Amino acid sequence: MKRFGVSLEDELLSELDALVRRKKLPNRSQGIRHLIRKNLVHDKFQKNSIVSGCIVLVYDHHRRDLLKKLVAIQHHYEHLILASQHVHLDHDNCVESILLKGKAS
């Protein structure tokens, strides 16, 4: 582990302190490490040509025309959608999982 100094404007330091509190981190060093790692992961993500993801929707199936709209949207983006799964949670609620694959950008 190496130590180094960092100069920050008062407002930016306040924002760092707020982040440390919000993330329940033990100190500012952990906050800076968190931000660096997050930025590095973001950069790596942007360099990936192909990524995958999942959209999960929970909804009341009694809502008028909602299922029709969901299907229309999925057909519009058929070039990105690998699969979808529809599950009945109870009498009123359903969950739709939509698996996607495409460019990170």
CATH superfamily for domain 51-102: ACT-like. Chain A, domain 2 (3.30.70.1150)
Mean pLDDT of 14-37: 95
Written as six digits, the tokens of 8 are 């920050």
Mean pLDDT of 13-17: 96
Q: Domain coordinates of the chain in residue numbers? A: 10-47, 51-102
Task: State how far Cα 46 lies from the chain centre.
Answer: 14
pLDDT band for 22, please (50, 70, 90 cuts): very high
Please write the tens of the pLDDT for every residue from 34-51.
Answer: 999 999 988 887 787 788
Please write the tens of the pLDDT for every residue from 73-84.
Answer: 999 999 999 999
Asked if 11 contacts 19 with a C-beta cutoff of 8 angstroms, the reply is no
